[in-house]
Amino acid sequence: MTSYQLYVFLMCLIVFVLLASLSIFCIYTIMRLTIRLIRHGAEDERILDEHKKSSAKKRKGKLSKLLGYAFSGIVCFVLLAVLVCSLIIKGTNGSVVGDIPVYRVVNTGSMAKKNERNQYLYENKLDNQIQTFDLIRTEKLPDEMELKLYDIVVYETDGMLIVHRIVEIEEPNQYHPNCRHFRLQGDSVESPDRFPVLYSQMRAIYNGERIPFIGSFIMFMQSPAGWLCSLFVLLSVCAIPFLESKLEKEKEKRLLLYMGSNSETVVKKKIPEAPSVTITKFSPITLHTMKGGISAVTLDQLNSSYNAGETVDIGSLKSKELVHPACRLIKIIAYGKLEKALTVKADFFSPKAREAIILAGGIAITLPEACKSSSATPNSKEYGGGDTNV
């Protein structure tokens, strides 16, 4: 590795470390905020809705999860394969190893088009031009005497590999009795290369097979920036399932806390299949209650526990054992259906729950104590969102 390549690698490494650190910080912050929202109940409606849908489409959910893992595995495999192929191409770029063909990237446009002054291209119908960043396949050179006019070969001069066409062959004579001299020229340029090329300078012959424009990606993957980007993508793909699993566990815990305080349910850590559960018994610990004594009540619970025209408040909810006796605040969330006209007095309403109550012919009243307390507002950090408008 030259000093310049080392410098480029170090600069790319510094940029990679900075970007990786920034990405990790952002992901950590987003995850932390999302988990807090889940734990404080702001995502209850969405979690319950997802649970209801997943119960109806359990098999489809498992299939989509498997497809997600399969897609991540395919991405990792393809990326690793491309990276390995790029490194192999770079490592074998100098010559042909035995009879094994070698793929090379064309970096210039000297063979990209026909120059009008090169009449031999038109006369002999030579249409095998090579575009910049094409990936070409080269094979082992034939014997010196088997090389023909207009063959395209790879030769080395001053440490560089050049792909040009043979436009003139000078047979052995008194000036060079033991070898042939070859004049090579790019199809896009007007004149042959400055010096004749010897057979010993040639490295391979082009067989006409090429993959257009993929060479730019191959060259990027061969650079230090490409290596670091590949590593970053691989780490990201590996981290996504872990992060999703962590969020799913938090959602499962929140669902368990809401849908039942039965100790047997908590021990088994199994989400009930029934989407609608009415809590009737309580343990000394309020499992379904949010931090600060706020309890969530669903539209399903109201619909099954009250008759049309009745008033819902914290006292009646406690008497019907829909909330814990120590509960101080109530939040109504839109899970399930409400088909009865009720007068609902609560501290917080989700927008969908308020709309459902009104559509059913009822009234949604936000208690003034909730509005007066800034620490208990549904938009505060403690309770994680809601609606305080009457």
Better-predicted residue by pLDDT, 335 or 91: 335
Q: Please compute, for residue 371, the number of CA atoms within 13 A of its CA located in the half-sphere on the CB side.
A: 10
The arithmetic mean of pLDDT across residues 163-171, rounded, is 94
* pLDDT the model gives residue 51: 74
Collapse the DSSP code of 211 into the 3-class scheme (helix H, G, I; strand E, B; otherwise coil) and give the result. strand
| Mean pLDDT in residue range 258-285 | 38
Tell me whether strands 102-105 and 135-139 are parallel, antiparallel or unpaired. Answer: antiparallel
Residue 86 has pLDDT above 80, yes or no: no
Q: Name the average pLDDT for the chain.
A: 77
177-187 confidence digits (pLDDT tens)? 889 999 999 99
| CA–CA gap between residue 233 and residue 78 (Å, rounded) | 12
Q: What is the DSSP letter of 377?
A: -
pTM confidence score: 0.50
Q: Which of 110-114, 229-233, 246-250 has the lowest mean pLDDT?
A: 229-233
pLDDT greater than 50 at residue 35: yes
Q: How confident is the model at residue 152 (pLDDT cuts 50, 70, 90)?
A: very high
At 1 the pLDDT is 56
pLDDT tens digits, one per residue of 343-356: 999 988 888 889 99
CA–CA separation, 169 and 206 (whole Å): 18
* Residues 6 or more apart whose Cβ sits within 8 Å of residue 355: 334
- Tell me the pLDDT tens digit for each residue of 294-333: 788 889 889 999 999 999 998 999 898 888 888 888 889 8
Stretch 216-241: mean pLDDT, rounded?
78
pLDDT at 275: 37
